[in-house]
Chain A
Amino acid sequence: MKLRPIHFQRYLTCVALVFFTLNTQAQSTADEIAKYREMIADGNPSELYEMAGEELWKKPAGPKNATLEKCDLGMGPGIVDGAAARLPKYFKDTNRVQDLESRLMTCMETLQGISAQSVIDAKFGVGPKKDMDAIVAYVVTHSKGSKVNVSVKHPKEKMMYEMGKRAFNFQGGPYDFSCASCHSIPGRRIRLQDLPDITTPEGAISGWGYWPAYRVSSGQFWTMQQRINDCLRQQRLPFPIYGSDFTIALSMYMAQNANGGIIQTPGLKR
Protein backbone atom coordinates (compact mmCIF):
# COMPACT_ATOMS: atom_id res chain seq x y z
CA MET A 1 0.00 0.00 0.00
CA LYS A 2 1.19 3.40 -0.92
CA LEU A 3 1.52 5.46 2.20
CA ARG A 4 0.47 9.04 2.02
CA PRO A 5 1.37 11.73 4.44
CA ILE A 6 -1.09 13.24 6.77
CA HIS A 7 -2.61 16.65 6.74
CA PHE A 8 -1.57 18.23 9.97
CA GLN A 9 -4.39 20.53 10.81
CA ARG A 10 -6.54 17.44 10.80
CA TYR A 11 -3.99 15.46 12.69
CA LEU A 12 -4.14 18.20 15.20
CA THR A 13 -7.91 17.99 15.40
CA CYS A 14 -7.72 14.27 15.97
CA VAL A 15 -5.14 14.61 18.65
CA ALA A 16 -7.21 17.26 20.32
CA LEU A 17 -10.37 15.17 20.20
CA VAL A 18 -8.85 11.93 21.28
CA PHE A 19 -6.41 13.00 23.91
CA PHE A 20 -8.06 16.26 24.94
CA THR A 21 -4.84 18.05 24.22
CA LEU A 22 -4.62 21.45 25.81
CA ASN A 23 -5.14 24.42 23.57
CA THR A 24 -1.64 25.71 24.07
CA GLN A 25 -0.13 22.41 23.03
CA ALA A 26 -2.42 22.28 20.05
CA GLN A 27 -1.30 25.74 19.07
CA SER A 28 2.33 24.75 19.22
CA THR A 29 1.62 21.71 17.03
CA ALA A 30 -0.05 23.97 14.50
CA ASP A 31 2.98 26.22 14.64
CA GLU A 32 5.25 23.26 13.99
CA ILE A 33 3.22 22.29 10.94
CA ALA A 34 3.40 25.84 9.67
CA LYS A 35 7.13 25.75 10.30
CA TYR A 36 7.52 22.53 8.33
CA ARG A 37 5.68 24.00 5.38
CA GLU A 38 7.58 27.24 5.51
CA MET A 39 10.86 25.34 5.58
CA ILE A 40 10.08 23.26 2.51
CA ALA A 41 8.65 26.24 0.65
CA ASP A 42 12.18 27.61 0.36
CA GLY A 43 13.52 26.05 -2.81
CA ASN A 44 10.49 24.49 -4.49
CA PRO A 45 11.94 21.82 -6.82
CA SER A 46 9.43 23.04 -9.43
CA GLU A 47 12.11 25.61 -10.18
CA LEU A 48 14.22 22.86 -11.72
CA TYR A 49 11.39 22.00 -14.09
CA GLU A 50 10.76 25.65 -14.81
CA MET A 51 14.42 26.16 -15.83
CA ALA A 52 14.38 23.12 -18.07
CA GLY A 53 11.10 24.38 -19.53
CA GLU A 54 12.52 27.77 -20.38
CA GLU A 55 15.33 26.05 -22.23
CA LEU A 56 12.89 23.82 -24.11
CA TRP A 57 10.72 26.83 -24.98
CA LYS A 58 13.66 28.55 -26.66
CA LYS A 59 15.37 25.52 -28.17
CA PRO A 60 14.63 24.51 -31.78
CA ALA A 61 13.05 21.05 -31.80
CA GLY A 62 10.90 18.67 -33.80
CA PRO A 63 10.88 17.90 -37.53
CA LYS A 64 10.56 21.62 -38.28
CA ASN A 65 13.46 22.45 -35.99
CA ALA A 66 11.57 25.43 -34.57
CA THR A 67 11.20 26.90 -31.08
CA LEU A 68 7.96 27.51 -29.20
CA GLU A 69 8.68 31.21 -28.94
CA LYS A 70 5.90 32.08 -31.38
CA CYS A 71 3.35 29.92 -29.57
CA ASP A 72 0.06 31.75 -29.06
CA LEU A 73 -1.30 30.83 -25.65
CA GLY A 74 -4.21 33.20 -26.10
CA MET A 75 -2.64 36.62 -25.64
CA GLY A 76 -0.79 36.72 -28.93
CA PRO A 77 2.26 34.86 -30.28
CA GLY A 78 5.04 34.56 -27.75
CA ILE A 79 3.23 36.12 -24.80
CA VAL A 80 3.69 33.92 -21.74
CA ASP A 81 3.17 36.40 -18.90
CA GLY A 82 -0.30 35.92 -17.45
CA ALA A 83 -1.33 33.50 -20.20
CA ALA A 84 -2.00 30.51 -17.94
CA ALA A 85 -4.33 32.64 -15.79
CA ARG A 86 -6.68 32.99 -18.78
CA LEU A 87 -6.86 29.32 -19.67
CA PRO A 88 -8.88 27.35 -20.65
CA LYS A 89 -10.22 29.53 -23.42
CA TYR A 90 -11.67 29.36 -26.93
CA PHE A 91 -9.15 29.45 -29.80
CA LYS A 92 -10.31 30.44 -33.22
CA ASP A 93 -7.60 28.56 -35.14
CA THR A 94 -8.53 25.20 -33.66
CA ASN A 95 -12.19 26.14 -33.12
CA ARG A 96 -12.18 24.59 -29.67
CA VAL A 97 -11.76 25.41 -26.03
CA GLN A 98 -8.27 24.41 -24.92
CA ASP A 99 -6.45 24.11 -21.63
CA LEU A 100 -2.75 24.86 -21.32
CA GLU A 101 -1.57 21.39 -22.22
CA SER A 102 -3.84 20.87 -25.22
CA ARG A 103 -2.84 24.34 -26.45
CA LEU A 104 0.83 23.51 -26.07
CA MET A 105 0.24 20.36 -28.11
CA THR A 106 -1.23 22.56 -30.86
CA CYS A 107 1.88 24.76 -30.78
CA MET A 108 4.21 21.76 -30.83
CA GLU A 109 2.36 20.36 -33.81
CA THR A 110 2.00 23.53 -35.87
CA LEU A 111 5.32 25.18 -35.04
CA GLN A 112 7.61 22.21 -34.48
CA GLY A 113 5.88 19.43 -36.38
CA ILE A 114 5.69 17.19 -33.29
CA SER A 115 2.52 15.13 -33.58
CA ALA A 116 0.00 15.70 -30.81
CA GLN A 117 -0.69 11.97 -30.81
CA SER A 118 2.91 11.24 -29.80
CA VAL A 119 2.43 13.45 -26.74
CA ILE A 120 -0.99 11.96 -25.95
CA ASP A 121 0.38 8.41 -26.18
CA ALA A 122 3.42 9.02 -23.97
CA LYS A 123 3.40 7.97 -20.32
CA PHE A 124 3.40 10.66 -17.67
CA GLY A 125 6.86 11.84 -16.76
CA VAL A 126 8.67 10.32 -19.74
CA GLY A 127 9.53 11.29 -23.32
CA PRO A 128 7.46 14.14 -24.75
CA LYS A 129 5.39 14.31 -21.54
CA LYS A 130 8.55 14.95 -19.55
CA ASP A 131 9.20 17.92 -21.84
CA MET A 132 5.58 18.95 -21.43
CA ASP A 133 5.98 18.93 -17.62
CA ALA A 134 8.89 21.32 -17.89
CA ILE A 135 7.22 23.61 -20.41
CA VAL A 136 4.08 23.74 -18.28
CA ALA A 137 6.18 24.62 -15.22
CA TYR A 138 7.78 27.45 -17.21
CA VAL A 139 4.47 28.83 -18.45
CA VAL A 140 2.53 28.67 -15.17
CA THR A 141 5.37 30.30 -13.24
CA HIS A 142 4.68 33.33 -15.42
CA SER A 143 1.17 33.57 -13.99
CA LYS A 144 2.19 33.25 -10.36
CA GLY A 145 0.53 36.07 -8.40
CA SER A 146 -1.97 36.80 -11.18
CA LYS A 147 -5.71 36.53 -10.72
CA VAL A 148 -7.58 33.73 -12.45
CA ASN A 149 -9.28 35.48 -15.35
CA VAL A 150 -11.11 32.92 -17.44
CA SER A 151 -13.56 34.13 -20.08
CA VAL A 152 -17.18 33.01 -20.25
CA LYS A 153 -18.09 35.12 -23.26
CA HIS A 154 -17.75 32.79 -26.21
CA PRO A 155 -20.67 30.34 -26.62
CA LYS A 156 -18.18 27.45 -26.74
CA GLU A 157 -16.68 28.63 -23.45
CA LYS A 158 -20.14 28.76 -21.87
CA MET A 159 -20.86 25.33 -23.27
CA MET A 160 -17.57 23.96 -21.94
CA TYR A 161 -18.39 25.25 -18.47
CA GLU A 162 -21.78 23.53 -18.53
CA MET A 163 -20.12 20.35 -19.80
CA GLY A 164 -17.64 20.67 -16.95
CA LYS A 165 -20.39 21.02 -14.40
CA ARG A 166 -21.97 17.83 -15.69
CA ALA A 167 -18.60 16.10 -15.84
CA PHE A 168 -18.01 17.13 -12.21
CA ASN A 169 -21.27 15.47 -11.18
CA PHE A 170 -20.90 12.48 -13.51
CA GLN A 171 -21.02 9.23 -11.55
CA GLY A 172 -19.64 6.02 -12.94
CA GLY A 173 -17.50 3.01 -12.23
CA PRO A 174 -17.94 0.31 -9.61
CA TYR A 175 -17.75 2.82 -6.75
CA ASP A 176 -20.44 5.19 -8.10
CA PHE A 177 -18.04 8.10 -7.57
CA SER A 178 -18.12 11.49 -9.21
CA CYS A 179 -15.83 14.45 -8.46
CA ALA A 180 -18.77 15.81 -6.47
CA SER A 181 -18.79 12.76 -4.16
CA CYS A 182 -15.74 14.22 -2.42
CA HIS A 183 -15.45 17.82 -3.60
CA SER A 184 -18.87 19.41 -3.13
CA ILE A 185 -19.19 19.76 0.64
CA PRO A 186 -16.97 22.03 2.74
CA GLY A 187 -14.83 20.60 5.54
CA ARG A 188 -14.70 17.05 4.26
CA ARG A 189 -11.66 14.86 4.10
CA ILE A 190 -10.52 11.41 3.03
CA ARG A 191 -8.43 9.95 5.84
CA LEU A 192 -6.66 13.13 6.93
CA GLN A 193 -6.48 14.65 3.48
CA ASP A 194 -8.55 17.81 3.17
CA LEU A 195 -10.88 17.93 0.19
CA PRO A 196 -11.50 21.37 -1.29
CA ASP A 197 -15.13 22.13 -2.06
CA ILE A 198 -14.71 22.96 -5.75
CA THR A 199 -18.26 24.32 -6.01
CA THR A 200 -17.27 27.42 -4.00
CA PRO A 201 -14.81 30.17 -5.09
CA GLU A 202 -12.60 29.57 -2.02
CA GLY A 203 -12.49 25.83 -2.56
CA ALA A 204 -11.97 26.15 -6.30
CA ILE A 205 -8.98 28.45 -5.95
CA SER A 206 -7.42 26.27 -3.26
CA GLY A 207 -7.36 23.47 -5.86
CA TRP A 208 -7.06 25.24 -9.20
CA GLY A 209 -4.69 27.90 -7.85
CA TYR A 210 -2.06 25.41 -6.57
CA TRP A 211 -1.81 22.96 -9.46
CA PRO A 212 0.41 22.29 -11.37
CA ALA A 213 2.59 21.49 -8.40
CA TYR A 214 5.63 19.59 -7.21
CA ARG A 215 4.40 16.64 -5.18
CA VAL A 216 6.67 15.98 -2.28
CA SER A 217 5.22 12.50 -1.68
CA SER A 218 6.06 11.27 -5.16
CA GLY A 219 8.95 13.63 -5.89
CA GLN A 220 7.30 14.52 -9.19
CA PHE A 221 6.01 17.60 -10.90
CA TRP A 222 2.35 17.10 -11.79
CA THR A 223 0.51 19.09 -14.44
CA MET A 224 -3.24 19.69 -14.13
CA GLN A 225 -3.85 16.93 -16.69
CA GLN A 226 -1.97 14.48 -14.47
CA ARG A 227 -3.76 15.73 -11.36
CA ILE A 228 -7.15 15.13 -12.99
CA ASN A 229 -5.98 11.81 -14.40
CA ASP A 230 -5.10 10.52 -10.94
CA CYS A 231 -8.40 11.76 -9.45
CA LEU A 232 -10.30 9.82 -12.08
CA ARG A 233 -8.10 6.77 -11.48
CA GLN A 234 -9.04 6.84 -7.82
CA GLN A 235 -12.66 7.29 -8.83
CA ARG A 236 -12.17 3.90 -10.54
CA LEU A 237 -13.13 5.31 -13.93
CA PRO A 238 -11.37 4.29 -17.14
CA PHE A 239 -8.37 6.27 -18.40
CA PRO A 240 -9.16 9.86 -19.45
CA ILE A 241 -7.42 10.57 -22.75
CA TYR A 242 -4.78 13.28 -22.38
CA GLY A 243 -6.20 16.62 -23.47
CA SER A 244 -9.69 15.21 -24.03
CA ASP A 245 -12.75 17.43 -23.71
CA PHE A 246 -13.86 15.75 -20.47
CA THR A 247 -10.61 16.84 -18.80
CA ILE A 248 -10.74 20.33 -20.35
CA ALA A 249 -14.37 20.70 -19.29
CA LEU A 250 -13.42 19.84 -15.70
CA SER A 251 -10.61 22.41 -15.84
CA MET A 252 -13.03 24.99 -17.23
CA TYR A 253 -15.45 24.29 -14.39
CA MET A 254 -12.74 24.63 -11.75
CA ALA A 255 -11.13 27.68 -13.37
CA GLN A 256 -14.35 29.62 -13.73
CA ASN A 257 -15.36 28.82 -10.17
CA ALA A 258 -11.92 30.08 -9.14
CA ASN A 259 -12.15 33.29 -11.19
CA GLY A 260 -10.65 36.23 -9.29
CA GLY A 261 -8.56 34.07 -6.98
CA ILE A 262 -4.78 34.42 -6.83
CA ILE A 263 -2.67 31.84 -8.63
CA GLN A 264 0.16 30.27 -6.63
CA THR A 265 1.50 27.90 -9.28
CA PRO A 266 3.65 25.98 -9.39
CA GLY A 267 2.58 24.86 -5.95
CA LEU A 268 4.29 22.56 -3.52
CA LYS A 269 1.99 19.77 -2.39
CA ARG A 270 2.65 17.10 0.17
Chain B
Amino acid sequence: MPDPMRIRATEKDGIVDVKILMRHDMETGQRKDAAGKTVPAWFIQNLNVKAQGKDVFNAHFGSAISKDPFLNFKYKGSKGDKLTVSWLDTKGEKRVDELLVS
Protein backbone atom coordinates (compact mmCIF):
# COMPACT_ATOMS: atom_id res chain seq x y z
CA MET B 1 0.00 0.00 0.00
CA PRO B 2 1.26 3.50 -0.72
CA ASP B 3 2.71 5.55 2.13
CA PRO B 4 0.39 7.74 4.19
CA MET B 5 -0.18 11.39 3.39
CA ARG B 6 0.77 14.23 5.66
CA ILE B 7 -2.31 16.39 6.12
CA ARG B 8 -2.77 19.56 8.11
CA ALA B 9 -6.14 21.24 8.44
CA THR B 10 -6.78 24.24 10.64
CA GLU B 11 -9.88 26.39 10.91
CA LYS B 12 -9.81 30.18 11.30
CA ASP B 13 -12.77 32.53 10.90
CA GLY B 14 -14.89 29.86 9.25
CA ILE B 15 -12.25 28.98 6.66
CA VAL B 16 -10.40 25.67 6.84
CA ASP B 17 -6.86 25.76 5.45
CA VAL B 18 -5.86 22.30 4.20
CA LYS B 19 -2.28 21.32 3.32
CA ILE B 20 -1.59 17.90 1.88
CA LEU B 21 1.73 16.19 1.14
CA MET B 22 1.53 12.97 -0.84
CA ARG B 23 4.34 10.43 -1.15
CA HIS B 24 4.54 9.65 -4.87
CA ASP B 25 7.34 9.57 -7.44
CA MET B 26 5.20 11.20 -10.16
CA GLU B 27 7.15 9.60 -13.01
CA THR B 28 6.77 11.58 -16.23
CA GLY B 29 7.61 8.71 -18.56
CA GLN B 30 10.56 10.73 -19.85
CA ARG B 31 13.12 9.95 -17.18
CA LYS B 32 15.78 7.30 -17.78
CA ASP B 33 17.05 5.06 -15.01
CA ALA B 34 20.73 4.31 -14.28
CA ALA B 35 20.71 1.55 -16.91
CA GLY B 36 19.43 3.98 -19.56
CA LYS B 37 15.96 2.44 -19.65
CA THR B 38 12.97 4.79 -19.79
CA VAL B 39 10.98 4.74 -16.57
CA PRO B 40 7.30 4.44 -17.54
CA ALA B 41 4.88 7.20 -16.60
CA TRP B 42 3.25 6.68 -13.22
CA PHE B 43 1.56 9.49 -11.41
CA ILE B 44 -1.36 10.48 -9.24
CA GLN B 45 -4.30 11.42 -11.46
CA ASN B 46 -7.09 12.21 -9.05
CA LEU B 47 -7.31 13.76 -5.66
CA ASN B 48 -10.58 14.08 -3.79
CA VAL B 49 -11.27 15.76 -0.49
CA LYS B 50 -14.52 15.36 1.40
CA ALA B 51 -15.57 17.14 4.56
CA GLN B 52 -18.31 15.38 6.51
CA GLY B 53 -18.84 13.14 3.49
CA LYS B 54 -19.35 16.00 1.02
CA ASP B 55 -16.95 16.97 -1.79
CA VAL B 56 -15.04 20.14 -0.98
CA PHE B 57 -12.17 19.85 -3.44
CA ASN B 58 -11.14 17.82 -6.47
CA ALA B 59 -7.96 17.86 -8.49
CA HIS B 60 -6.76 16.17 -11.65
CA PHE B 61 -2.99 15.91 -12.02
CA GLY B 62 -0.79 15.42 -15.03
CA SER B 63 2.75 14.08 -14.68
CA ALA B 64 4.12 17.63 -14.32
CA ILE B 65 2.96 17.96 -10.73
CA SER B 66 6.21 17.73 -8.70
CA LYS B 67 7.35 14.52 -7.06
CA ASP B 68 5.90 14.10 -3.57
CA PRO B 69 3.01 16.43 -4.47
CA PHE B 70 2.05 19.29 -2.23
CA LEU B 71 -1.36 20.87 -2.32
CA ASN B 72 -2.92 23.70 -0.36
CA PHE B 73 -6.58 24.77 -0.64
CA LYS B 74 -9.28 26.30 1.55
CA TYR B 75 -12.98 25.67 2.14
CA LYS B 76 -15.72 27.05 4.34
CA GLY B 77 -15.99 24.70 7.30
CA SER B 78 -15.55 24.19 11.02
CA LYS B 79 -13.31 22.67 13.65
CA GLY B 80 -13.98 18.97 14.09
CA ASP B 81 -14.97 18.42 10.43
CA LYS B 82 -13.99 14.93 9.39
CA LEU B 83 -11.82 15.18 6.29
CA THR B 84 -11.40 12.22 3.96
CA VAL B 85 -8.56 12.67 1.50
CA SER B 86 -8.04 10.10 -1.24
CA TRP B 87 -5.85 9.84 -4.29
CA LEU B 88 -5.69 7.44 -7.18
CA ASP B 89 -2.76 6.95 -9.56
CA THR B 90 -2.33 5.71 -13.13
CA LYS B 91 -1.64 2.16 -11.92
CA GLY B 92 -4.88 2.14 -9.98
CA GLU B 93 -3.16 2.36 -6.62
CA LYS B 94 -4.92 4.48 -4.08
CA ARG B 95 -4.48 5.92 -0.65
CA VAL B 96 -7.13 7.20 1.73
CA ASP B 97 -6.40 9.14 4.91
CA GLU B 98 -8.70 10.80 7.38
CA LEU B 99 -8.32 13.49 9.99
CA LEU B 100 -10.31 15.94 12.06
CA VAL B 101 -9.95 19.66 11.42
CA SER B 102 -8.28 21.43 14.35
Contact = CB atoms under 8 A, between A and B. Distances in A.
Interface size class of B (residues with CB under 8 A): 10 to 19
Contacts of A42: 19, 70, 72
Contacts of B14: none
A212 interface: no
Nearest to B20: A43
Interface size class of A (residues with CB under 8 A): under 10
A48 B3 contact: yes
Interface of B is mostly: loop
Interface string B1-21: 001111000000000000101
A39 to B, nearest CB: 10
Nearest to A218: B67
Contacts of A43: 6, 19, 21, 70, 72
Nearest to B68: A45
Contacts of B4: 51-52
A45 B21 contact: yes
Contacts of A219: 25, 66-68
Contacts of B22: 48
A48 B67 contact: no
B25 A48 contact: no
A69 interface: no
A53 to B, nearest CB: 11
Contacts of A51: 3-4, 6
A43 B7 CA distance: 10
A45 B25 CA distance: 12
B82 interface: no
Interface of A: 42-43, 45, 47-48, 51-52, 219
20 contacts: A42-B72, A43-B6, A43-B19, A43-B70, A45-B21, A45-B68, A47-B21, A48-B3, A48-B5, A48-B21, A48-B22, A48-B68, A51-B4, A51-B6, A52-B3, A52-B4, A52-B23, A219-B25, A219-B67, A219-B68
